[in-house]
Structure 1
Amino acid sequence: MREIINKYPRLLHGGDYNPEQWLDSPQVLEEDIRLMKETRVNCVSLGIFSWARLEPEEGEFHFGWIRRIIDKLYENGIYTILATPTGAMPNWMTAKYEEVRQMSPEGVRNLPGRRHNFCYTSPIMRKKMKKINHELSRHLGDHPGVILWHISNEYGGNGSDASCHCPQCQQAFREWLKEKYKTLDNLNHAWWTAFWSHTYTDWSQIHSPVPNGESRLHGLNLDWKRFVSHQIQDFCMEEIRAVLKYSVLPVTTNMMEYFKPLDYFRFAPQLSIISWDNYPEWHSQKDEVNVAVRTAAWHSMMRSLKKAPFLMMESTPSIVNWKAVNTQKRPGLHELSSLQAVACGSNSVQYFQWRKSRGSSEKFHGAVVDHRNGSNTRVFREVSALGSRMEQISDTIYPTCNRPKAAIVFDWENWWAVEDIEGPRKDMAYQDTILAHFKPFWEMGIDVDFVNEDCDLQGYRLVAAPLNYLYKKGYAKKVKDYVEAGGCYVATYFSGVVDETDLCILDRHPLEELLGIRTEEMDAAPDHRVNSIGFEGKSYKTGCLREISHVIPGEGAEVLASYESDYYAGCPALTRKSYGSGRAYYLACETEEAFLKALYAGLAEENGIGTEFTGRLPYGVTVSHREGGQDLWFVQNFNEAETQMELPGTYARVEDGMELKGSITLKPFECLILAAK
């Protein structure tokens, strides 16, 4: 990232700034700059929702106000991430051009308002977007204080599935399908339309899946999700081309947590830097561990998209305003949760937002500066303390990044497909399954990358693929090559069931040769049908999904765990087979957490992916490892209490070089940053 953001190659601290709300109060800008310097803010994002100020009437552009603000910030050592304003359309546009507004699945055109209430296909919307972006680029793209383009804001984040069902989108969908399938015969086969006599005889008959029409052709549903993601990605690419007309700055767009409609793996190549908006539900459970695991997983996803440092573009220093219960961060958690992002590969801590809005929907969303009290608040003091610490550690941390030796397969197309199926149960819980397999690594202090089925697996010592229902073309061969070359692969129940068009794969499992097993049927058992598996002398409970499989005689698969009751007692629950220079495992059922801990602890040792901290971390404490100029360890205590732990060696605290070894006491919500000695 040092080569990408070359104007300011340091950790960024700041956030969204919306000064257009205060243009009639110039003293507010003066006060904001004073307070920003006090909190060590070095970067803000401008213009995210400023279209109505930048173009108050069609074709009438006003850039003087934003240039004056960028000038003033730059004079005070504060850089700008400049946004394109397409996240919210001005009323003059939506009133004049009805077609720019989205249409619901029921065929009703949305009224003006909200955010991202625009049709990504609309030629008029694309024309207006390009014009405002060209003008931004021409007027401000070479400003010395601008370091990065922020393309739109949270694409698809309008509270629905991100799709528009208007006539223009229907036609674009049909053209997209023609390009993909070439003929209706190919499409009918891929979607298996002969069932229920739904064969298409003309392209015009095809419509997006809607509640009052066709919604149970799984191939249609899957392709519509692909199309929506593609269409928004294409809109993003047009935005990027528009701002780069007069500018050579790097580009990013702020992604969201576990956002199902958009395949972020496909977005990543067109972006210079990955960024995302992080809003965990801290204090929502008895302790912070599960929330910390969930958040660490998505930080890791953002890093994995380009295998490089990313930016945490938004977070809250206190609360949000849109959850059922909006709980303040307890003292100390702001610094820990912010440094958790840095620990996982972020080169920024940024907030939504700097100053609270006086009115409208987010007036009670957390911010650095409250409606009252200026700098005299706990939140402001905690932000200031973090800003000072980030200044201290910036030069040491900036050149480093996490380089995991383990990966988990998370594929958006598989997610769309597995959670659309009718059976074996209604909620296939793909996201929860992924997190269940991620958590043991987090508890062992082992960093993990996420990959999709298109990614290269070589270089990882261990790859786990939980609930990998859909196999894309070529994926099975990729896995075989990976294992044959020495890799360790963990497959689970209900994997390799369908191909990329969501048609069931006939005859045998695509990895049957690799795994040495034959899958037969899946049981989704109710709670009272208790079962367990025996593994390494212990008994572990199974979950709802329990697949019946069999070892193929003479293929070399070993049974490591078996079911202990019911009609599949004795059937293999975990198998292992050597293949080439590597090994492949097959887990046939959902299991309790303790089993996954035991399984991955053994595999970590077997494959040499453990760290010096593995096996030494108390409950609620994890470690992340950034490599580069130095080996840096982020020891994070997510307990709201002091916690004792034993260091495995001698380390220097990055801020002051203080030597630490042996038994140490971690303060509540403390993050130590250590350099190996």
Structure 2
Amino acid sequence: MVEKYKPISPKYPHILHGGDYNPDQWLETPEIIDEDIRLMKKAHVNVVSLGIFAWSKLEPEEGKFDFSWLDNIMDKLAKNGIYVILATPSGARPIWLAKKYPEVLRVDDERQRQLYGGRHNHCLTSPIYREKVRIINTKLAERYKDHPALIAWHISNEYSGECHCPLCQEAFRQFLKNKYGTLEKLNHEWWTSFWSHSITDWSQIESPSKKGEFNLHGLKLDWKRFITHQTVDFFKNEIGPIRRITPNIPVTTNLMGLCPEYDQWEMAKVEDIVSWDNYPEWHNDYQKTWETAAATAFSHDLNRSLKGGRPFMMMESAPGNINWRNINKLQRPGIIELQSMQAVAHGSDTVQYFQWRKGRGGFEKFHGAVVGHSGSENTRIFSEVSKVGEDLEKLDAVVGTTVKPEVAVVFDYQNLWAIEDARISNCESMNYTKTCIEHYTPFWKKGVPVDVINEMADLSGYKLVIAPMAYMLREGFAERIDKFVKGGGTFVTTYLSGFVNDNDLCWLGGFPGPLRKILGIWDEEQDALYPSDKNSIVLNEGNELGFKGSFDIKDMCDIIHAEKAQVLAIYKSDFYKGKPALTVNNYGKGHAYYIAARTGTDFLDKFYSSIIEKFGIKKTIDSELPEGVSAEYRTDGENDFVFIMNFTEETKTVKITDQYKNMLDGNPESETIQIPAYGFKLLQRNAK
């Protein structure tokens, strides 16, 4: 049974449309603020994120607070039917705080305390900083707890970075004491006898540094886990007074896509709603636009999956262009609405932009905005944003709906950290994140919904679980895969899987470690391929996949023995010519596939197309999709809401077989639909 979730706020049970608003930059020109509100209403904006970097305006001197300007803005917005996601200002502290309390300044990995500046430049461990954040957050919550405009809390902004100060060093040691209990256990798990690095006193432990200890992989893994722990703990400190004073107002913090600075699964456990900032590099020179769209879809599906399918918030997206890449290309006409609808298609109940109005100075003065320096509404971008808002108002039925995919791709931050340190095979071309997206993309092309999960996720309910490069097997993952496959599930994994445990200790007894019995193979050696090396895998005649041919391989491959598994493909050349390159093991009621070499997308497309057909995996629509067109759906159990989107520069034709209604105009849809360049169709049908 598909669950329909409650809207983000009962005050406004519709899709939220708006963005970051910084009126604190315009307090000396109140006429601009009045004009902003007029323009917001014209652009069908119903929500703004407010006060994200406003600490110096809220508390210009220690203990002296000024909320009068914020009162005025909140009241004006409420009067005009515009709601507020109110931010806590911890993302960038005022100068007085850094000058008076230098302990809040971060220390880098070379043990140098940083100067004041930038943002996220504070120590997450500092008791003083935590107390100052608690005070201002308490005052915000007490002042606005009953304000009619308030519908959610935006906690800080894009948590990131790390500190190596004495406070953090001591907190790290305590973290390790809690985890390991004894130095004997820590020394074993970090394998410190290597290079005579055994630790004899807790005080000897320091955070990793390129000028110090940087080769104990267990240390580096635990440091990343500690950074995750401190970030989440700081978040808990931030929301303490907010949850106490406004228990019915949800809290979120904007995540940053696939950014590996901390484990976002741990943050999601504490948030009420997941939100993230979406900045695809459209129209680049290294991939097709639809490939950018597929990678973006992967991130959307991750954020939907972080809380088990609950709709998320797209907290930021660019209207126009950005300013922080080396090349900041304008989005072509249609992309603003297309990327907005893509977010909704994958589970977002908001479309929000950074930023509403361009500032006059500072680092982001040329970052895209709905309203530019001219202040004019007669612009392409303002017109496109207004059209987004107008169309979103017709999608009330989508709010709170979700999808329950039959396929999951495992993307695990902690496995990523371990792979980054794995001095094995082709160190320059590990590309874990890219590889996960490549295994996801064949399903995107076919219109098959996918969850993006981590190794700790519940696997029940899936028909197919894919874990590319499962190098580190976290505690219990192999056991869950064993149960999943025995119970009838299909499991796919690849080269470089089953090598180490949680703390980066190699499994003894042969790779792929605890997966060996499930996969029915032994991985004896791993080869690296230079770009000039040529080899391929060749499908055996009459194999169960139903296709054949030769497919080039690159970067890395495993030399394996089929112990119980059936060989589906072999290597074409080199000293391992004729050795297994693709296998399947019938295990219990299920099947376990092993892809021993990195292939191109040509093989992955054919392989996963075969898997989709063989195991009857559900597609969004029955017909084949043209290249660059995706089809996603959300459902309330009675109605399916289908989003067909064209991420190419050409008109595409799609055939549909069910009875559909166009959600924007209410008319029935024909069996053959034309979708223009960067266009889309929003359709409704009876739930399948």
TM over 0.5: yes
Structure 2 CA distance, aligned partners of 1:317 and 1:537?
Answer: 45
Instruction: Name the structure 1 match of 2:51.
Output: 47
Instruction: Name the structure 2 match of 1:159.
Output: none
Instruction: Name the structure 1 match of 2:628.
Output: 620
Q: Map 1:335-346 onto structure 2 (within 5 A).
A: 335-346=337-348
Report the CA distance between 1:30 and its aligned residue: 1.1
Report the CA distance between 1:134 and its aligned residue: 0.7
Native 8 Å contact 2:337 2:384 kept in 1: yes
Structure 1 CA distance, aligned partners of 2:401 and 2:375?
Answer: 38
Secondary structure of the corresponding residue to residue 86 of structure 1: coil
Structure 2 CA distance, aligned partners of 1:86 and 1:373?
Answer: 30
1:501 pairs with 2:512: no
Amino acid in structure 1 at the alignment position of 2:376: G
1:412 pairs with 2:413: yes
Instruction: Name the structure 2 match of 1:654.
Output: 663
Amino acid in structure 2 at the alignment position of 1:425: N
Report the CA distance between 1:607 and its aligned residue: 2.0
Q: Map 1:188-207 onto structure 2 (within 5 A).
A: 188-207=187-206
Secondary structure of the corresponding residue to residue 107 of structure 1: coil
Q: Map 1:132-151 onto structure 2 (within 5 A).
A: 132-151=136-155
Secondary structure of the corresponding residue to residue 152 of structure 1: coil
Secondary structure of the corresponding residue to residue 207 of structure 2: coil
Quick one: structure 1 residues 192 and 643, their matched pair in 2 at CA, closer, same or farther if it must change by over 3 Å? Answer: same
Amino acid in structure 2 at the alignment position of 1:69: I
Instruction: Name the structure 2 match of 1:674.
Output: 683
Native 8 Å contact 1:400 1:630 kept in 2: no
Instruction: Name the structure 2 match of 1:304.
Output: 305
Structure 1 CA distance, aligned partners of 2:244 and 2:253?
Answer: 18
Native 8 Å contact 1:531 1:565 kept in 2: yes
Instruction: Name the structure 1 match of 2:560.
Output: 549
Secondary structure of the corresponding residue to residue 397 of structure 2: helix
Structure 2 CA distance, aligned partners of 1:210 and 1:493?
Answer: 30
1:584 pairs with 2:582: no
The number of equivalent residue pairs is 668
1:31 pairs, out of 32, 35, 56, with 35
Native 8 Å contact 2:319 2:336 kept in 1: yes
Instruction: Name the structure 2 match of 1:20.
Output: 24
Secondary structure of the corresponding residue to residue 421 of structure 2: coil
Structure 2 CA distance, aligned partners of 1:31 and 1:512?
Answer: 65
Amino acid in structure 2 at the alignment position of 1:593: T
Native 8 Å contact 1:648 1:661 kept in 2: no
Instruction: Name the structure 1 match of 2:456.
Output: 454
Deviations 1:95-142 (A, max 9, x none): 100000101111111111100000000111111010111111111122
Secondary structure of the corresponding residue to residue 622 of structure 1: strand
Report the CA distance between 1:293 and its aligned residue: 1.0
| TM-score, structure 1 as length reference | 0.97
Amino acid in structure 2 at the alignment position of 1:356: K
Native 8 Å contact 2:411 2:453 kept in 1: yes
Amino acid in structure 1 at the alignment position of 2:267: F
Instruction: Name the structure 2 match of 1:82.
Output: 86
Secondary structure of the corresponding residue to residue 169 of structure 1: helix
Quote the sequence identity (%): 48
Structure 1 CA distance, aligned partners of 2:6 and 2:91?
Answer: 29
Instruction: Name the structure 2 match of 1:235.
Output: 234
Report the CA distance between 1:648 and its aligned residue: 3.2
Instruction: Name the structure 2 match of 1:245.
Output: 244
Native 8 Å contact 2:301 2:451 kept in 1: yes
2:616 pairs, out of 587, 608, 620, with 608
Q: Map 1:515-530 onto structure 2 (within 5 A).
A: 515-530=519-534
Quick one: structure 1 residues 176 and 238, their matched pair in 2 at CA, closer, same or farther if it must change by over 3 Å? Answer: same
Instruction: Name the structure 2 match of 1:467.
Output: 469
Structure 2 CA distance, aligned partners of 1:244 and 1:148?
Answer: 11
Instruction: Name the structure 1 match of 2:289.
Output: 288
Amino acid in structure 2 at the alignment position of 1:256: M
1:220 pairs with 2:219: yes
Native 8 Å contact 2:7 2:399 kept in 1: no
Deviations 1:9-68 (A, max 9, x none): 110000000001111211111111110000000000111001011111111111121122
Native 8 Å contact 1:368 1:383 kept in 2: yes
Structure 1 CA distance, aligned partners of 2:571 and 2:310?
Answer: 42
Native 8 Å contact 1:137 1:245 kept in 2: no
Amino acid in structure 1 at the alignment position of 2:77: L
Q: Which moved more, 1:102-111 or 1:649-658?
A: 649-658
Amino acid in structure 1 at the alignment position of 2:443: F
Structure 1 CA distance, aligned partners of 2:619 and 2:583?
Answer: 26
What is the RMSD computed on CA atoms of the aligned residues?
1.2
Report the CA distance between 1:537 and its aligned residue: 2.3
Report the CA distance between 1:560 and its aligned residue: 1.1
| TM-score, structure 2 as length reference | 0.96
Native 8 Å contact 2:311 2:347 kept in 1: yes
Report the CA distance between 1:245 and its aligned residue: 2.6
Secondary structure of the corresponding residue to residue 610 of structure 2: helix
Report the CA distance between 1:614 and its aligned residue: 5.4
Q: Map 1:324-403 onto structure 2 (within 5 A).
A: 324-393=326-395, 395-403=396-404
Report the CA distance between 1:615 and its aligned residue: 5.5
Instruction: Name the structure 1 match of 2:162.
Output: 163
Report the CA distance between 1:4 and its aligned residue: 4.5
Structure 1 CA distance, aligned partners of 2:193 and 2:321?
Answer: 52
Report the CA distance between 1:649 and its aligned residue: 3.1
Secondary structure of the corresponding residue to residue 682 of structure 2: strand
Secondary structure of the corresponding residue to residue 569 of structure 1: coil
Deviations 1:158-194 (A, max 9, x none): xxxx110111111111111111111111111101010
1:540 pairs, out of 551, 570, 586, with 551
Native 8 Å contact 1:446 1:614 kept in 2: no
Structure 2 CA distance, aligned partners of 1:481 and 1:363?
Answer: 54
Deviations 1:354-382 (A, max 9, x none): 11101111111111111104201111011
2:518 pairs, out of 514, 519, 522, with 514
Native 8 Å contact 1:444 1:610 kept in 2: no
Secondary structure of the corresponding residue to residue 270 of structure 1: coil
Report the CA distance between 1:612 and its aligned residue: 5.5
Structure 1 CA distance, aligned partners of 2:169 and 2:375?
Answer: 53
Amino acid in structure 2 at the alignment position of 1:344: H
Native 8 Å contact 2:622 2:657 kept in 1: no
Native 8 Å contact 2:622 2:656 kept in 1: no
Structure 2 CA distance, aligned partners of 1:215 and 1:654?
Answer: 56
1:637 pairs, out of 638, 643, 646, with 646
Instruction: Name the structure 1 match of 2:543.
Output: none
Native 8 Å contact 1:533 1:542 kept in 2: yes
2:129 pairs, out of 125, 128, 144, with 125
Instruction: Name the structure 1 match of 2:492.
Output: 490
Native 8 Å contact 1:498 1:504 kept in 2: yes
Instruction: Name the structure 1 match of 2:578.
Output: 570
Secondary structure of the corresponding residue to residue 392 of structure 1: coil
Report the CA distance between 1:3 and its aligned residue: 5.2
Deviations 1:506-553 (A, max 9, x none): 00321222111111010011123211111232111112211011111x
Native 8 Å contact 2:620 2:642 kept in 1: no
Report the CA distance between 1:644 and its aligned residue: 2.0
1:60 pairs with 2:83: no
Structure 2 CA distance, aligned partners of 1:612 and 1:200?
Answer: 56
Quick one: structure 1 residues 312 and 503, their matched pair in 2 at CA, closer, same or farther if it must change by over 3 Å? Answer: same
1:9 pairs, out of 1, 9, 13, with 13
Runs (5+) with no aligned partner, structure 1: 157-161
Q: Which moved more, 1:383-392 or 1:525-534?
A: 525-534
Report the CA distance between 1:2 and its aligned residue: 2.1
Amino acid in structure 2 at the alignment position of 1:406: V
Report the CA distance between 1:144 and its aligned residue: 1.7
